[in-house]
Amino acid sequence: MGDTDGARIAWVYMSGGCGTASLPNIQSFKFAHFLMKGIMKTTLKVLVAAVCVLGASGLAYGDSYTVSNDNNGDGYVTGGFPTFQLFGADNGAEFAMFGQPNTTYFITTVSATETVSFDWSYITHDLYGSYYDPAGYYLDGTFNQLSTNNDRDTSTSGIDSSGITTVSLNAGDTFGWYVYSTDSRYGRGELDISATDVSATPEPSSLLLLGSGLAGLIGMVRRKRTA
């Protein structure tokens, strides 16, 4: 559509769609064209702002995860979110004859409402099986075990269990993964994580903003067709 056509459409819109309106002069055409372009730019800005809010309102990729041990354990992490390996403790013999328990965490404080989907696999390096080093994800004080409780695994290394898990989170939640070592001896538990999707859940205000932009754009198209 050329500049003159756009100006004519805008003029018809301003004159209430009346076919008997007198033909405006060239200055009126320029003003109408300027007004039309302004309406389109404003609508596009609203849409872009809404998309930005929906797509970047605190993705977990931006949250900072930290590793810690609660009882002098030597558990550690290699890599970093979204792909990492979390290892439980194995230094219990340094503190007691029969070892001592320890939990190794890799957690964060969630910055926005979102869902996290991740592939996981658990590997036991404990001579006596995965039963002694359970692992899973942690959410606000609750330990959600993913590994199985196999006793006396005949191998010292190998995938014990694996799967895909999705967790819904709210802003302010404490979330992450853990490996618990019952005695921190005879080999570590290992939890391998690969986050496959992190999706921010849109708030009602964000949906309203997007809806307003779409309604404005649809209304503009309808007015063009009517003209």
Average pLDDT over residues 14-26: 46
Which alpha helices (H) appear in 15-107, and where do they start and end? 26-55
- By percentage, how much of the chain surpasses pLDDT 90? 50
Query: What span, in angstroms and rounded, lies between the C-alpha atoms of 121 and 194?
Result: 9
The architecture in CATH of the region 60-200 reads: Sandwich (2.60)
Beta-carbon contacts of 11 under 8 Å, excluding residues fewer than 6 positions away, are: 21, 24, 28, 29, 32
Over range 40-66, report the average pLDDT.
Answer: 55
Does 145 or 26 have the greater pLDDT score?
A: 145
pLDDT of amino acid 97: 83
CB 160 within 8 A of CB 88: no
Q: How many CB atoms lie within 10 A of CB 94?
A: 12
For residue 6, is pLDDT > 50? no
3-state secondary structure of 135: strand
Residues 6+ apart with CB under 8 A from 53: 202, 206, 209
Locate 26 and state its tokens: 């060239």
> What are 90-100's pLDDT values in tens digits?
999 888 888 99
- pTM exceeds 0.75, yes or no: no
The set of residues, in sequence order, having a beta carbon less than 8 Å from that of 91 and lying 6+ positions away, is 72, 73, 74, 184
The structural domains of the chain, with segments of one domain joined by +, span 3-57+204-226, 60-200
Sign of CA dihedral 132, 110, 209, 205: positive
**How is residue 22 annotated by DSSP?**
P
- Give per-residue pLDDT as tens, 170-194: 999 999 999 999 999 999 999 999 9
